[in-house]
């Protein structure tokens, strides 16, 4: 009877392994269908200061291993319900069991079983009856691997966390670099990226687009008469009024100062002129209230769309700019194409 033999082996006094992973004691799952054998094994492991749980059969072992995720598994081979190797194979297929250190306990150890066991994913062997010192020596090797494994997992987690932080920061910086802080609108850099994309789509697929440049009328007078803070509020209110007049994929960006650019995808010049007129009315009807200020401002708008006569993106933007200039010259608060 193997258990009886093991019990007679004199205890060699070595300091307990007392192994910990980080600040946690290492957990071992001990599995044997023979109660005497199991009790001996558990007593030995507890003396070595491990945190031990036990299972009396293969099915229970599998369930506990998946639930408790022990760092080490010491499993008997010959068991009636599910043998040791079947337990090991099932565990190695699971993500939890993939990194578990597994010691197989067996009475017989033929070459065939040895080959089959390593093939199934066993890390090491202990033959019953076990010598306490020999078992501890083998566990020591397992603990070393389990510690390395835990370190690998900690490092992986740290790297993933750092990567996530870095990505979040990059996204924030990217958003900030493309946003105007005063109005929250996309800024000039974004506008230039966007018209570049649209221009390429026009060249490739013939999809038309329009730009509407707009400039607040006599804005300097707002600053001069009511102060810079009121001027800022007028800029914010104008941004919102323009936005409210847009739909779908149309986008308004602040180019700088009191100048904005609206980009209308898929629009011909005549469609752009209609959008521009809608914007003009929206701004004209938007009364801005601020201490000492209670009126609407107006904008002058210049529309330019893609067509054969426009040789480049620069030419398109220049055309819209010149149309604004014309609108200013022809009395302001109007749209020119
Ligand atoms: P026009 O009808 O011909 O466009 O006249 P205008 O007074 O609007 O034109 P001008 O270009 O002379 O004035 C623009 C003013 O916008 C001058 C500048 O101080 C002001 N400005 C530019 N950026 C800001 C800003 O961020 N906040 C405020 N409050 N004012 C700004
Ligand atoms: Mg057995
Ligand atoms: Mg201006
Ligand atoms: Mg102006
Ligand atoms: Mg034109």
321: CA distance to ligand 5 center in Å?
A: 10
Buried/exposed 66-103: b ≥16 CB within 10 Å, e otherwise: eeeebbbbbbbbebeebbbbbbbbbbeeeeebeebbbb
* Statement: the pTM of the whole predicted model exceeds 0.80: no
Best residue for ligand 1 mutational test, from 223, 283, 302 (most atoms within 8 Å of Cβ): 223
Q: Is residue 19 pLDDT above 80, yes or no?
A: no
d(CA 207, CA 200) in angstroms, rounded, equals 9
> CB of 219 closer than 6 A to ligand 1?
yes
Query: Does residue 49 come out as left (phi exceeding 0), alpha (psi in the -120 to 50 range) or beta?
Result: left
pLDDT at 18: 65
Q: Is residue 148 pLDDT above 60, yes or no?
A: yes
Instruction: Indicate the pLDDT class of residue 75, thresholds 50, 70 and 90.
Output: very high
> CB of 229 closer than 6 A to ligand 1?
no
> CB of 223 closer than 6 A to ligand 1?
yes
Instruction: Indicate the pLDDT class of residue 249, thresholds 50, 70 and 90.
Output: confident
Neighbours of ion ligand 3 (CB under 5 A): 215, 259
Residues 253 and 263 sit within 8 Å (Cβ to Cβ): yes
User: What are φ and ψ of residue 182, in 5° steps?
Assistant: -70, -50
Q: Percentage of residues in the chain with pLDDT exceeding 90? A: 82
Residues 326 and 335 sit within 8 Å (Cβ to Cβ): no
Mean predicted confidence (pLDDT) in 93-98: 91
In this structure, the residue with its CA closest to atom 26 of ligand 1 is: 257
Q: Is residue 25 pLDDT above 80, yes or no?
A: yes
Q: Is residue 294 pLDDT above 50, yes or no?
A: yes
Terminus-to-terminus CA distance in the chain, angstroms? 102
d(CA 17, CA 26) in angstroms, rounded, equals 10
d(CA 93, CA 225) in angstroms, rounded, equals 76
Least confident of 72-76, 105-109, 267-271: 105-109
> CB of 228 closer than 6 A to ligand 1?
yes
What value does the CA radius of gyration of the chain take, rounded to a whole number of Å?
A: 38
Least confident of 13-22, 84-93, 123-132, 191-200: 13-22
Q: What is the ipTM of this complex?
A: 0.93
Structure tokens at 272: 């752009």
Q: Is residue 6 pLDDT above 70, yes or no?
A: no
Residues 234 and 286 sit within 8 Å (Cβ to Cβ): no
pLDDT tens for 173-216 read: 999 999 999 999 999 999 999 999 999 999 999 999 999 999 99
Q: Is residue 2 pLDDT above 60, yes or no?
A: no
pLDDT at 55: 98
Q: Which ligand is nearest to the CA of 254?
A: 1
Catalytic residues: 258
Neighbours of ion ligand 2 (CB under 5 A): 33, 76, 78-79
Between CA 187 and CA 193, with CA 192 as vertex, the angle to 5 degrees is 100
Q: Is residue 239 pLDDT above 60, yes or no?
A: yes
pLDDT at 109: 76
Q: Is residue 271 pLDDT above 50, yes or no?
A: yes
Report how far Cα 230 is from the mean position of its chain's Cα atoms: 41
Q: How far is CA 298 from CA 115, 206, 210, 271, 319, in A?
A: 87, 34, 21, 21, 21
Helix (H, G, I), strand (E, B) or coil at 95: coil
Helix (H) or strand (E) holding 8: helix 2-8
pLDDT at 303: 98
d(CA 56, CA 161) in angstroms, rounded, equals 40
120: CA distance to ligand 2 center in Å?
A: 18
> CB of 304 closer than 6 A to ligand 1?
no
Q: Is residue 3 pLDDT above 80, yes or no?
A: no
pLDDT at 31: 98
pLDDT at 88: 97
CA-based nearest residue to 73, from 117, 36, 15, 29: 29
Tally DSSP H helices, then E strands, for the chain: 11, 14
CA-based nearest residue to 40, from 131, 114, 109: 131
Instruction: Indicate the pLDDT class of residue 96, thresholds 50, 70 and 90.
Output: confident
d(CA 219, CA 102) in angstroms, rounded, equals 78
pLDDT at 1: 46
pLDDT at 149: 86
């Amino acid at each position: 009877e193997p258990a009886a033999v093991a019990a007679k082996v004199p205890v060699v006094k070595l300091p307990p392994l007392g192994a910990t992973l980080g600040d946690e004691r290492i957990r071992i799952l001990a599995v044997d269908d023979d109660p005497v054998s199991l009790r001996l094994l558990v007593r030995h492991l507890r003396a070595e200061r491990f945190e031990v749980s036990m299972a009396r059969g293969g099915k229970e072992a599998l369930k506990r291993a998946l639930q408790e995720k022990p760092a080490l598994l010491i499993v008997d081979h010959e068991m009636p319900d599910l043998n040791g190797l079947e337990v090991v194979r099932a565990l190695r297929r699971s993500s939890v069991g993939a990194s578990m250190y597994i010691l197989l306990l067996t009475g017989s150890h033929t070459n065939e079983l040895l080959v089959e066991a390593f093939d199934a994913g066993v890390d090491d062997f202990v033959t019953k009856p076990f010598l306490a010192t020999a078992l501890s020596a083998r566990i020591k090797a397992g603990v070393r691997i389990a510690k390395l494994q835990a370190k690998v997992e900690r490092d992986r987690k740290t790297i993933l966390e750092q990567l996530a932080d870095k990505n979040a920061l990059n996204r924030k910086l990217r958003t900030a670099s493309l946003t105007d802080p005063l109005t929250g609108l996309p800024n000039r850099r974004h506008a230039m990226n966007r018209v570049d994309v649209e221009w390429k789509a026009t060249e490739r697929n013939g999809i038309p687009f329009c730009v509407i440049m707009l400039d607040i009328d006599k804005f300097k007078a707002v600053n001069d008469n009511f102060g810079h803070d009121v001027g800022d509020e007028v800029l914010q209110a104008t941004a919102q009024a323009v936005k409210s007049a847009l739909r779908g994929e149309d986008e308004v960006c602040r180019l700088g100062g009191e100048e904005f650019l609206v980009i209308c995808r898929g629009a011909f010049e005549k469609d752009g002129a209609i959008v521009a007129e809608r914007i003009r009315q929206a701004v004209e009807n938007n009364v801005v209230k601020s201490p000492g200020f209670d009126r609407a401002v107006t904008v002058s708008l210049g529309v330019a769309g893609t067509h054969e006569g426009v040789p480049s993106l620069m030419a398109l933007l220049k055309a819209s700019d010149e149309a604004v200039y014309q609108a200013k010259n022809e009395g302001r608060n109007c749209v020119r194409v």
